[in-house]
Amino acid sequence: MIDKKPFEQLIDKLKDEGKYRVFNDILRERGEYPNAIWYGKYNIKNIVNWCSNDYLGMGQHKVVLDAMHTALDQTGAGSGGTRNIGGTSHYHVALEHELAQLHSKESALLFTSAYVANEWTIVSLKRIIPDIVFLSDSKNHASLIQGIRHSGAEKKIFPHNDLETLEQLLRDVKGTPCIVFESVYSMDGYVSKIPEICALAKKYNAITYLDEVHAVGLYGNTGAGYAEKLGCLNEIDILNGTLGKAFGVQGGYITGNSTVIDAIRSVASGFIFTTSLSPVVCAGALASIKYLKDHNDLREKHQQRALQLKTEFLNEGIDVLENNTHIVPVMVRDAKKTKAMSDMLLDDYNIYCQPINYPTVEEGTERLRFAPTPYHSDAMIHNLVDSLRKVNKRFQEGCV
């Protein structure tokens, strides 16, 4: 029988350090986004969700829901198998075609999430190019780090956005270099130096692997991401995206040259040996991508809301990490305090914002990460700023 002791010890340690994660039980209300219902231990109440990555509310958009209802009625719930054995439907084919077009690439490959897409694409690259050396930005997401570790390939880490160190590393690489980086870093909201990194890649004949998970749907004239916005989509060899954030549904993908994608498709176990996404999910994603291609207005409103929130926080003297993106990190720099502030916002002000602690961010950089959407009203913004001001005051006065 399993000994529970090491498990209890681990949980106690996490609780002691303020790193124990509590999942909030909420129910999003269709048509009322970002309002939601929170199910507490003793009560149920209305809250405003300030930390959803459904950045544009597409998870509740009529065109997405209509497409999903139609697919559900037409084809049923699940895909029925792996892509190789019964699980490739017309919706998968159409969605991959749409994704390739969106990113101006020849091909796309769907995975069950962007995490899986990152991990297994990187593992596959090592299988296909045995002498590959990964050059990885120090702030890269866990899925990229996991892919590199799992691949067993040689790796070199460069400090975030540090072009000088990156060039030094590129100069010394013995095998085939592959630069792995993100466009929008989700916890700080910083943007990587995509054109400069691509120029270095060209100079040293390196492969470029770009994670655009927090940019697809949100940046560029058609929502293809930050590389589109900066006009350097052509310089990216493999681009990774999610269908679960701005597109509001679920799943992940890569896009690139058709031979490259075909080879990855043939060796990536995390793609091959798992049931494919439901056609219903694919139908929703397809509708969402098409809709966002045509709706820059939603992207503009999103940016405007984020800017307004940041401005109001700064005016109130709140410690916001400054950036040029839609992400609004308020720095607390202490795990227990971040959790206590998050609890207070929820309990006393009906504001839901999950604390961000290690290992998602480095210790000492704990924060509240606000994600405004086009649907957060002026009144909601004023209320949030006022509530956070009151919470800070209670801490300053030692009332907690």
Binding site for ligand PLP (CB under 6 A): 113-115, 118, 141, 143, 182, 186, 211, 213-214, 242, 244, 252
**For ligand PLP, the closer CB: 136 or 242:** 242
Q: How far is the CB of 121 from ligand PLP (least distance, A)?
A: 11
- Smallest gap, in angstroms, from Cβ of residue 211 to ligand PLP? 5
- With CA atoms as reference, report the closest residue to 113 among 233, 224, 240, 208: 240
Place of tokens 């300030």: 50
Task: For residue 287, give Cα distances in angstroms to 99, 136, 221, 283.
Answer: 12, 34, 17, 6
Distance, in Å, from the CA atom of 343 to the CA atom of 337, rounded to the nearest integer, reads 10
Nearer to ligand PLP among residue 125 and residue 340 (C-beta): 125
- Closest to 253 measured CA to CA, from 242, 268, 262, 261: 242
Task: Between 49 and 118, name the residue whose CB sits nearer to ligand PLP.
Answer: 118
Phi first, then psi: what are they for 297, rounded to 5°? -55, -40
Based on CB atoms, which residue is closest to ligand PLP, 277 or 335?
277
Q: Residue 44 — φ and ψ, nearest 5°?
A: -125, 135
Selecting among 245, 290, 337, 339, the annotated active-site residue is 245
Q: How much of the chain is in helix, strand and coil states, percent to nearest 5?
A: 45, 15, 40
The distance of closest approach from Cβ of residue 354 to ligand PLP in the complex, given in angstroms and rounded to an integer, is 13
Would you say 34 or 252 has its CB closer to ligand PLP? 252
CB of 141 to ligand PLP, least distance (A): 3
Is residue 245 among the annotated active site residues?
Answer: yes
DSSP-derived secondary structure for 176-210: EEEEEEESB-TTT--B--HHHHHHHHHHTT-EEEE
Nearer to ligand PLP, 118 or 121 (CB): 118
Find the shortest distance in angstroms from Cβ 395 to ligand PLP: 29
Question: Residue 139 or 312: which CB sits closer to ligand PLP?
Answer: 139
**Closest CB 222 distance from ligand PLP, rounded Å:** 20
Helix (H), strand (E), coil (C) string for 43-84: CEEEEEECCCCCCCCHHHCHHHHHHHHHHHHHHCCCCCCECC
Sheet of 367-370, strands arranged across = 328-331, 367-370, 355-356
Residue 297: other Cβ atoms inside 10 A: 9
Min separation Cβ 241 and ligand PLP, Å: 8
How far is the C-alpha of 15 from the C-alpha of 12, rounded, in Å? 5
DSSP letters along 100-166, please?
HHHTT-SEEEEES-HHHHHHHHHHHHHHHSTTEEEEEETT--HHHHHHHHHHT-EEEEE-TT-HHHH
Q: Which residues are designated catalytic?
A: 245
